[in-house]
Amino acid sequence: MAQRIEVFTLLEDGRAKTYQSRFEKLGIKASIRVVDVYTIEDDIADPANLNECISSLTNPVSQKSFVLDGSNTTPDGYVDTLGSFDHALEVGFLPGVTDNIGHTASELTALSLNEIRTVYASQMLLINGQLSERNISDLKDDLHNSLIQRADHKDAKAYQNDNGMGITIPKVQLSNSGVAADEVDLDISDDELAEIGKSGIENQDGSLRGPLGMSLLYMKAVQDYFKAEGRKPTDIEIETLAQTWSEHCKHTIFASPIDEIKNGLFKHYIKGATEEIRKAKGKDDICVSVFWDDSGVIAFDDDWLITDKMETHNSPSALDPFGGAITGIVGVNRDCIGTGLGAKPIINRYGFCLADPRSNIEYYRGKGKANPTLSSETVMRGVVAGVESGGNQSGIPSPQGFLYFDDRYIGKPLVFAGTVGLMPREVAGKPSHLKGAEKGDRILMIGGKVGRDGIHGATFSSVALDEGSPATAVQIGDPITQKKFSDAIIKEIRDLGLYKAMTDNGAGGLSSSVGEMAESSGGFHVELEKVPLKYPGMSPWEIWISESQERMTLAVPPENVQTIMDMLAKRGVEAWDIGEFTDTGRAHITWHGDTIMDMDMDFLHDGLPETPLTTTFTRGGEPEPDLKEPDDYRETFLNMLSRLNICSKEFVACQYDHNVQGTAVLGPLQGQGRVYADASVSKPLLDNPRAVVLSQGLFPRYSDIDTHHMGQAALDMAVRSAVAAGGDINHLALMDNICWCSSDEPERLGQLKRAISGIYHLAKTYGTPFISGKDSMFNDFKGYDENDNPVKISVPPTLLISALGVIQNVDQAVSLDPKMPGDKVYLLGTTKDECGASEYYALRGALGNNVPETDNDLNMNLYRVMSEANKKHLITSTLPVSYGGIGIALAKKAIAGQLGLNISYDIGLRMDKTLFSESTGRVVVTIAPQDQMEFEKLFADHALLIGEVTDSDLLKINDIETNISDLEEAYKKPLRGY
Amino acid sequence: MSAKALVIAGYGLNCEEETAHAFEHVGLSAEIRHINDLAENPKELENTQVLCIPGGFSYGDDTGSGNAFAQKMRLTLGDHLKKFVEQDTLTIGICNGCQIVANLGLAPALDHKYGERMVAVTHNLTARYQCRWVDVAVQNTNSPWLQGIQTLHIPVAHGEGRFMMGEDTLKTLQDVKQIALRYVKPDGTSAKGEYPYNPNGSTDDIAGITDPSGRVLTLMPHPERGMFNWQRDDYARLKDKARRAGQALPERADGLALFENAATYFEIAKRKSA
């Protein structure tokens, strides 16, 4: 029999207040109480033990608890504490979904009773207020995600009649029958082959196992291989090939020949740029390990290396924003841990491309208003909370990120998550950035057990989201389990030299991690029944490709296995020896002694057929619009500042712990006016003066005109922001994250090729190598609108460039806020008539044609000079000009410094274009008068004196005057309430 | 021989390294100890002078922040903890450590009732995680940790930092002067519960309390994140001001004072100057 412990909070509860204000937004006035519920699967009979368990879950100062057993009797005092209410609404997890609170409660029972009990957590809201049926349904939608959670409602009468909410036990029930590997007959027609590739292998009952994401070409290669082997493949073999050959894992679009570029976009442009830059830099090369490992690695100083990696987690976030984002951030943390012999995660990056959270556009995945997409507000709230939870709980500061808005992200939001790491150059006498499994090494899986979560995550991310998108692709992270093994490995085990290689279990699960690690030894043998499961009944193929979170795979010489296991056990971390790395050239798996997979390693990794790609390109855009010049510039300023891509994102910055580890120097909010910054500076070692600078750039809307300029603007912005914050152009590396759409269309591929060739040329001019990257090629939504018309919504081709730089001394960091009245204001760089696809044209409802074009050589010269000026501490504040042009840059500076600016700037261009043109390569700086001569000498033609910092409360540009407090309100208001 | 500071780690605590650095910086010998290792050898507390439970997210704040870790310490260390605080030692709980110390009942321990939970440190009134710089003022206190300090400009970073208690407990705390730190406005006047000066809605603007002896201090803000000027939110301004005046900006900032006081308490001569 089960027991239900209800914990009532008796003092004022901040959570309840927040629910109330959230409900008010839905038009529901109600007062709320929050009851925490713990359901114990097998009851604790002994009253003393039960009391001990209850007290471990209850704070006696603020809470009171009751045990209900589902019978007709209620405990003493329960009715009084319950009090009066109109409705009860309970949200709990569905079976098999990661339940971290329940997990901790289970551990508490183990501590207090010396025996572990399964505990499930849920939360009940007691609502006082009159609710209509519609209200209740709205509340349920707001409070839970039906893919992973249940929401149960009872009105007061039903609650009374049923004697409470009732006991729900979300236990996974899987039958044990048929738990074996099945043979699959591929001796079938091309049509049938194509169907398996698209929809998946058929179960015996006729249901499908979910998309393999394999084209007919790939399926035929599989067919040929097994014909030659003279046998039928097993399901696990086909599933493994689908994972390994997926766009997600093999980046096939970047690897394929494309037009005249026979070695593909990645080798030719991205890797090509890096190779050419490294050669040109010679002994000043900063790269240490690029592209092949879990992160890119560059030099920090003579003793330390710094690593960086940026991931995307788009598809899961569309289905479950919280789960998608939290697994995104803790997943990329593992990429950091799995770099070389192990890097310590020191900084998180985040980025969200979203639809306007205030818009209420309805879309459906199915016809007839079936399967609605989540609202844009739900998506934003979820992804913001996911990174908050994952980042904060992991003790990794998250100072660096962005939110970008365009309504084309409605069906598929983009969620970027990155992690910077630090590791000594040498670990146990060996270079830390090298690793490799060798023959005879044991395969150790550590961390969590395996469940059905995340099946087909890798193949799913390679297709457009539609009605058939699998719910099993959704997972929830458990940051504390991961923190335990992260600390154990990075802070204790790594430096003992006990393992030879380590990698993360991410997309594709064990099939990817073991498969990749075995490339260095030349084969593997896994005894799959040794992989521990969360619940019985999983098929071998599911175990092998499951993406259950919080797992790493290690290659450990047999003599060290016990030592590592003992050390991990002392830290509460589980580990399992599941097989051996071999040199047999075979990928070999047994299941209780029977061989269920036996494939050639070369076929597994290199058997996928080449798919040559061809492209076309048509420049987009419209004729330059004929707009009336604004009558009231003051109003235009306020409207521009309130645009979502310009306004403050303080609500995110304050929720993300940005100074844990004690390393924050320049944070996400700068100046007394707290302006959200484009770059951040951290000092990773408390007793080492060196610092790192992080930044990023993206201009997705420019893709509507020309992706070449979109890509160059993104790269230029990333580099410019890093240099502006105190960086050195000579010690700066880049990462590319490409989130494209419809990448099976020649026109989209043409846009891609132009963007990539653009950043190749600019990176070479700047001498800033790419060190890591990630692509996600099918960010399209297919479904129906509110009138049941079929729609396809593609994200604007989005190229995010992130920069990582090293600053010699932390005192070179430059913040964005002006410091003193009397300081001189300069514009570095040139303003041109370039409002195409700008925020200003968007405000005016136009697209235009004059997209900003980047002057590669001129900018490079400027950034060299700025790097020099940083070392001389000549600049007291900088702000790169970005969305909204110089007008917005000046407004942000005035807000940040809470100081006036007196500016005169006229270049003979109409004033609205002058103020809001988004020409790249520009920075607004302020200089102390004492440094003016030296500054002007150094910057020469790059710098134009445009005004002075004043102690007034006015931003004055020519004859346009605006009050700083008005600007500040316009800047801070739009997203304040989230 | 210098005094030994033991900084606890494990199960999601995450500020142990920078906090240990703070103790080392002022001349104590600091050791990071995983709770499981201390549980195996609780006698180590007998040759420890300073016990620090640092910030973090033990057990992910599940079942109430600090609750599960406090249970673990209570069940595995038992009387060793009580014995430790009753001797001439110093104990500090910071942020998650503050929540753990409160749940362990090591503070306020009114009437020397060590082990009894008397205050709750619970969900912020905004129900949002708050990472921001605050100003706190040292109250009339006997705490060795806070001697000679008037105000501190240091950050908070927590989702559950709101001190709550019964009215009787509050009155007693006020009467016996065990409220050690209160949130104030930048000009030093009372925050009067006003957000964001009081970032979590804490009762009576309480940011930290002590036990009756003052040797146990538990506080929500992070002194170790505000011990050097380059960590401060106004670093760029301070640096710029110093440069214009032709001066070098000293490295030392407010937060270091607590750790220096710990060193002074154990008469460590070898105090490093910043």
Q: pLDDT band at B269, cuts 50/70/90? A: very low
Going by pLDDT thresholds of 50, 70 and 90, the confidence category of residue A208 is confident
Q: What is the pLDDT of residue B268?
A: 63
pLDDT tens profile B155-214: 999 999 999 999 999 999 999 999 999 999 999 999 999 999 999 999 999 999 999 999
Q: Which two tokens stand for residue A332?
A: 């990329």
* Residue A675 distance to chain B (closest CA, Å): 12
For chain B, give the number of residues: 274
Give me the catalytic one of B16, B160, B224, B260: B224
Task: State the best of A567, A654, A687, A824 to mutate against chain B, taking most chain B CBs within 10 Å.
Answer: A654
* CB of B272 less than 8 A from some CB of A: no
Q: Is the pLDDT of residue B272 over 60?
A: no
Which residue in A265, A406, A414, A408 sits closest to A754, CA to CA?
Answer: A265
Q: What is the 3-state secondary structure (H, E, C) of B41-56?
A: CHHHHHHCCEEEECCE
**Rounded mean pLDDT of A462-475?**
55
Average the pLDDT over A879-902 and give the result: 98
Q: What is the DSSP letter of A623?
A: P
Inter-chain residue contact B127 with A665, CB threshold 8 Å: no
Residue of A nearest to B241 (CA): A819
Contact A686 B228 (CB under 8 A): yes
Distance CA A216, CA A212 (A): 11
Interchain proximity B244–A670, CB inside 8 Å: no
A401, containing H or E segment: strand A400-405
Contact A907, A831 (CB under 8 A): yes
Between chains, do A56 and B243 touch, taking CB under 8 Å as contact?
no
Minimal CA–CA distance to A153: which of A165, A169, A141, A171?
A165
pLDDT at A943 over 90: yes
Per this entry, what is the length of chain A? 978
* Chain B nearest C-alpha distance from A690 (Å): 12
Interface test with A, best of B131, B162, B238 (most A CBs within 10 A): B131
HEC states along B222-234?
A: CHHHCCEHHHCCC
Mean pLDDT calculated for residue range A524-543: 90
How far is residue A810's CA from residue A794's CA, in Å, rounded to a whole number? 43
Contact between A14 and B124 using a beta-carbon 8 Å cutoff: yes
pLDDT of residue A641 exceeding 80: yes
pLDDT tops 90 at residue A460: no
pLDDT at A40: 94
Query: A610 pLDDT band (50/70/90 cuts)?
Result: confident
The continuous run of DSSP H or E covering A735 comes out as strand A732-739
Is residue A620 scored above 50 in pLDDT? yes
CB atoms within 10 A of CB A138: 16
DSSP codes of every residue in chain B? ---EEEEEE-TTB--HHHHHHHHHHTT-EEEEEEHHHHHH-GGGGGG-SEEEE--B-GGGGTTSTTHHHHHHHHHHHTHHHHHHHHSS-EEEEETHHHHHHHHHT-SS-GGG-TT----EEE--TT-S-EEEEEEEEE-S---GGGTT--EEEEEEEES--EEE--HHHHHHHHHTT-EEEEEE-TTSSB-TT-TTTSSS--GGGEEEEE-TTS-EEEESS-GGGSSBGGGSTTHHHHHHHHHHTT-PPPSB-TTHHHHHHHHHHTT-S-PPP-
Task: Please determine, for residue A629, whether its predicted confidence score (pLDDT) is greater than 70.
Answer: yes
The residue in chain B having the minimum alpha-carbon distance to the alpha carbon of residue A16 is B127
Residues on chain A touching B131 (C-beta within 8 angstroms): 653-659
| Confidence at residue A175, expressed as pLDDT on a 0 to 100 scale | 66
Of A112, A480, A666, the CB nearest to B236: A666
User: pLDDT tens for residues A338-355?
Assistant: 999 999 999 999 999 999
Interface predicted TM-score (ipTM): 0.95
Answer whether A307's CB lies under 8 Å from A418's CB: no
- Give the mean model confidence (pLDDT) for residues A308-327: 91
Q: Best of B62, B103, B202 to disrupt the A interface by mutation (most A CBs within 10 Å)?
A: B62
Q: Specify the pLDDT at position A474.
A: 67
A392/chain B closest Cα distance in angstroms:
8
What is the predicted pLDDT for the residue at B169? 96
Query: Closest Cα partner for A439 from A583, A557, A586?
Result: A583
Banded model confidence at residue A390, pLDDT cuts 50, 70, 90: very high
Least confident of A70-74, A924-928, B67-71, B96-100: A70-74
- Summarize pLDDT for A82-113 with one digit per residue, the tens: 999 999 999 999 888 888 899 999 999 888 88
Q: Tokens in use for A252?
A: 């096939």
The amino acid that residue A288 corresponds to is: V
Percent of chain A at pLDDT > 90 equals 79
**Residue whose structure tokens are 């309805």:** A362
Q: Above 60 in pLDDT, residue A38?
A: yes
Question: What is the tens place of the pLDDT at every residue in A312-321?
Answer: 998 888 888 9
Instruction: In whole angstroms, give the CA distance from residue A13 to residue A391.
Output: 25
Sort A558 into a burial class: Cβ within 10 Å, 0-12 / 13-18 / 19+.
Answer: exposed
Query: Closest Cα to residue B95, out of B155, B49, B144?
Result: B155
Identify the DSSP state of A350: E
Q: What is the pLDDT of residue A470?
A: 46
| B 22-81 residues with CB < 8 A to A | 34, 36-37, 55-64, 67-68, 71-72, 75
How far off is chain A from B245, nearest CA to CA, in Å?
A: 11
**Cβ separation B12–A665 shorter than 8 A:** no
At residue A589, the pLDDT reads 95
CA distance B264 to chain A (A): 22
Q: Are strands A31-40 and A524-527 parallel, antiparallel or unpaired?
A: unpaired
A313 given a catalytic annotation: yes
Q: Cβ contact (<8 Å) for B162 and A107?
A: no
Q: Is residue A259 within 8 Å of A750, Cβ to Cβ?
A: no
| B224 assigned to active site | yes
B 202-221 → A contacts, CB under 8 A:
none
Backbone angles phi, psi at A880, to 5 degrees: -65, 140
pLDDT band at A465 (very low <50, low <70, confident <90, very high): low
In this predicted structure, what is the pLDDT of residue A846?
97
What pLDDT, on the 0 to 100 scale, is given for residue A176?
A: 60
CA distances to A680, A755, A942 from A860, rounded to whole Å, are 21, 19, 11
Q: Which of B15, B95, B123, B260 is catalytic?
A: B95
The pLDDT of residue A287: 98
The nearest CA of chain A is from the CA of B151 a distance in Å of: 19
User: What tokens does A162 get?
Assistant: 């049923």
CA distance B205 to B192: 7
Q: Is B15 designated active site?
A: no
Indicate if the alpha-carbon torsion angle B20, B22, B23, B25 is positive or negative.
positive
- Segment A272-301 shows an average pLDDT of 96
Q: How far is A940 from chain B (nearest CA, A)?
A: 23
The answer to whether A481 and A574 have CB atoms below 8 angstroms apart is: no
Q: Say whether residue B126 is in contact with chain A using an 8 A CB cutoff.
A: yes
Q: What is the mean pLDDT of chain A?
A: 93
Torsional class of B245: left (φ above 0), alpha (ψ -120 to 50), beta (otherwise): alpha
What confidence tens digit (pLDDT) does each residue in A578-599 have? 999 999 999 999 999 999 999 9
- The amino acid at residue B76 is T
Put simply, the answer to whether A108 touches B57 (Cβ < 8 Å) is no
Which residues in chain B have Cβ-Cβ distances shorter than 8 Å to A394? 14, 57
Kindly state the tokens that stand for B158.
């927590």
DSSP A909-944: S-HHHHHH---SS-EEEEE-GGGHHHHHHHHGGGEE
Cβ contacts of A275 within 8 Å, gap of 6 or more: none
pLDDT at B273: 44
Q: In whole angstroms, give the CA distance from residue B96 to residue B85.
A: 19
| pLDDT at residue B95 in the model | 97
Residue that the structure tokens 């390393």 belong to: A663
> How many whole angstroms separate alpha carbon A66 and alpha carbon A78?
7
Residue of A nearest to B76 (CA): A111
Question: Average of pLDDT values for A242-268?
Answer: 90
What pLDDT score does A178 carry? 63
Cβ distance A662 to B225 less than 8 Å, yes or no, reads: yes
Is B224 in CB contact (< 8 Å) with chain A?
Answer: yes
A248, A251, A658, A731: the catalytic one is A248
CA of B165 to nearest chain A CA: how many angstroms apart? 6
| Distance from C-alpha of A744 to C-alpha of A615, rounded to nearest angstrom | 10
- Strands A414-424 and A669-670, by their bridges, are unpaired
Mark yes or no for CB contact B34/A666 under 8 Å.
no
d(CA B32, CA A234): 51
**Closest Cα partner for A13 from A123, A163, A100?**
A123
Q: What is the DSSP letter of A8?
A: E
CB neighbour list of residue A162: distance below 8 Å, 6 or more residues apart:
A154
* CB spacing of A664 vs B225 below 8 angstroms: yes
**How far is it, in rounded angstroms, from Cα A26 to Cα A23?**
5
Nearest CA in chain A to B224: A662
Site of tokens 């909410």: A165
Burial group, residue B251, by CB count within 10 angstroms (0-12, 13-18, 19+): middle
Using CB atoms, which residue from B67, B157, B237 is nearest to A59?
A: B67
pLDDT band at A25 (very low <50, low <70, confident <90, very high): confident
Is residue B97 within 8 angstroms of chain A, CB to CB? no
pLDDT for res A203:
81
